[in-house]
Amino acid sequence: MGVVEMVLKHPEELPALVKLKLAAMQATRYVPPEPHWAFCYNMLQKVSRSFAIVIQQLGPELRNAVCAFYLVLRGLDTVEDDMAVPIDTKVPILKAFHEHIYDPSWHFVCGEKHYKILMTEFHHVSTAFLTLAKGYQDVIKEMTERMGNGMAKFIEQEVESIVDYDEYCHYVAGLVGLGLTRLFYAAGLEDFALDVLSNSMGLFLQKTNIIRDYLEDINEIPAPRMFWPREIWSKYGNALEVFKEENRSREAVQCLNDMITNALKHAPDCLEYMSALRDPTIFRFCAIPQIMAIGTLALCYNNINVFRGVVKIRRGLTAKIMDGTRTMADVYAAFDDFSAILEAKIDKDDPSAALTQKYIDEIHAKCEARFLSDSRRKAFSIQSKTGHEICLVLAILILTFIMIIIVWR
């Protein structure tokens, strides 16, 4: 959907789009004077623009620690993802990555595009890491070591069971949630007790990405790397590849819905985690990705297009989420809205329907227990609103704003 078409169908998202563009511009202008930090923040813009926006809202000390943590793990992930790197080379690097971050002379050329630049000039990340307080360094080192060893384990091991699936997601994402929580604690801003729930925060995001990226991952060259557990997909087909076939749409969607149901079980823990956060900037940093995840699951549920092309939340809705997430009431409203959208698509004949409904009911109960008012409901919409009769004046106003956005580029 083009920008003009999107705004015409969802004019209520225009203000948020403009604000998001301004926030992106502001994040782009933030370039620290030190060469190593300048590289890190410029690279952050390249590998995760939306993350760069929310990280800018953190306090300076924590912002630097989170930036370095993210880029260290992005480097680790780049090594894992590069299928051109031989396994006997890759595994030792993954296991020793936590040591390499202390060596400003170390680098390893792999990956593509921006990721290749990150790895080629990784000495900037190491230099930035070494300027952090020891408390931050210790957290990053521990999580990098645990993640590297976990990735190495699953290089040659298939994700067979749901237990394997949860373990893999723990290594690549649950540890991110745990590491961030400990960075928040090291900064003196949050409670250490949040450790207990932090794994679910990571698993909810990672499972959403694994589900959404089915087609991209299965078409990976030279060989696909898939993390859908056999315990789930084998109920619907004899190989993951068959879900791409036109005549297997019913089985594909049922498998997809089962995968989404598995992800939904983590949502109540995520709501508990976010409700316990005290710092407003940390809250937004954590809450926005979680709302994006529940919105993505609602969009993907019962959607055969996951196996046909790219399925993702439109930019206008992303902007609305980023602009409208300020308090826990906003999070409850969003989770309640998106859960209701997903719930409306449940087919009672779907094999996982009963369990899906159970998890949706748990989410609704968490939200409604906070006395969410009806006036806050239905703030989000995934589908385009048809039947809009937009007057000429409004159309001109919208197009004017779009021209402003284009000029700002």
Residue with tokens 């949502």: 267
Q: Is the pLDDT of residue 377 over 60?
A: no
Question: Bigger pLDDT: 17 or 175?
Answer: 175
Cβ neighbour number for residue 137 with a 10 Å cutoff: 18
Mean pLDDT of the chain: 87
CA 61 to chain centre: 23
Which of 49, 225, 278, 377 is labelled catalytic?
Answer: 225
Distances (CA, A) of 113 to 4, 11, 16: 30, 35, 30
- Residue 211 is inside which H or E element, if any? helix 195-212
Residue environment code for 324-352, b if the CB has 16+ CB neighbours within 10 A, otherwise e: bbeebebbbbbbbbbbbbbbeebeeebeb
Residue 221: predicted pLDDT:
72
Q: Tell me what pLDDT residue 156 has.
A: 81
| pLDDT for residue 176 | 96
What whole-number distance in Å separates Cα of residue 231 and Cα of residue 156?
Answer: 18
pLDDT score recorded for residue 92: 96
Catalytic residue among 285, 332, 335, 359: 285
Give yes or no: 285 in active site.
Answer: yes
Confidence of residue 393 (pLDDT cuts 50, 70, 90): very low
Is residue 165 pLDDT above 50, yes or no?
yes
Distance separating alpha carbons of residues 217 and 211, to the nearest angstrom? 10
List Cα–Cα distances, 327 to 184, 274, 275, 277, 301, in angstroms: 18, 10, 9, 10, 27
Angle between the N-to-C axes of helices 315-324 and 280-300, in degrees from 0 to 180, rounded to the nearest 10: 150
Active site residue 115: no
d(CA 17, CA 80): 35
- Does the pLDDT of residue 291 top 80, yes or no? yes
Which residues belong to CATH 1.10.600.10 in the chain? 158-378
Q: Which of 388, 373, 384, 232 is nearest to 299 (CA)?
A: 384
Q: Is residue 212 annotated as a catalytic residue, yes or no?
A: yes
What pLDDT sits at residue 48?
Answer: 82
Catalytic residue among 69, 129, 168, 283: 168
Lowest-pLDDT range of 177-191, 205-219, 243-257, 391-405: 391-405
Higher pLDDT residue, 303 or 14? 303
Phi, then psi, of 162 in degrees rounded to 5: -65, -30
Q: Do residues 124 and 41 lie in contact, with contact meaning Cβ atoms separated by under 8 Å? A: no
Q: Are 390 and 8 in contact (CB under 8 A)?
A: yes
Residue 362: count other Cβ atoms within 10 Å of its Cβ.
16
Task: Report angle CA 58, 20, 282 to the nearest 5 degrees.
Answer: 20
Token pair belonging to 172: 């690549």
Q: How confident is the model at residue 21 (pLDDT cuts 50, 70, 90)?
A: low
Q: How many CB atoms lie within 10 A of CB 286?
A: 25
pLDDT of residue 3: 56
Judged against a pLDDT cut of 70, whether residue 334 lies above it is answered with: yes
Band of pLDDT at residue 375, cut at 50, 70 and 90: very low
Could you tell me which CATH number the domain at 158-378 has?
Answer: 1.10.600.10
Q: What per-residue confidence (pLDDT) applies to 320?
A: 87
Active site residue 307: no
131 neighbors 80 (Cβ within 8 angstroms): no
Lowest average pLDDT, out of 185-189, 238-242, 311-315, 403-407, goes to 403-407
Q: What number of residues does the chain have?
A: 409
**pLDDT per residue as tens digits for the range 135-164:** 999 999 999 999 999 999 999 888 999 999
Q: Identify whether the C-beta of residue 237 lies closer than 8 Å to the C-beta of residue 248.
A: yes
Residue found under tokens 């307080």 = 133
Q: What are phi and psi for residue 362, nearest 5 degrees?
A: -65, -40
- What whole-number distance in Å separates Cα of residue 387 and Cα of residue 66? 45
Written as six digits, the tokens of 339 are 């859960």
Res 13: pLDDT: 64
pLDDT for 391 beyond 60: no
The torsion of the CA quartet 279, 46, 126, 112, rounded to 10 degrees, works out to: 140
Q: Which residues of 224-243 are buried (b: 16+ CB within 10 A; e: fewer)?
A: eebbbbbbbbeebbeebebb
Provide the whole-model pTM.
0.87
- Higher pLDDT pick, 386 / 141: 141
Single-letter residue type at 321: I
Which listed residue (63, 74, 182, 212) is catalytic?
212
Tell whether omega for the bond before 222 is within 30 degrees of 0, i.e. cis.
Answer: yes
pLDDT confidence bin for 264, thresholds 50/70/90 = very high
Q: For residue 16, give the amino acid letter.
A: A
Residue of 291 and 379 predicted with greater confidence: 291
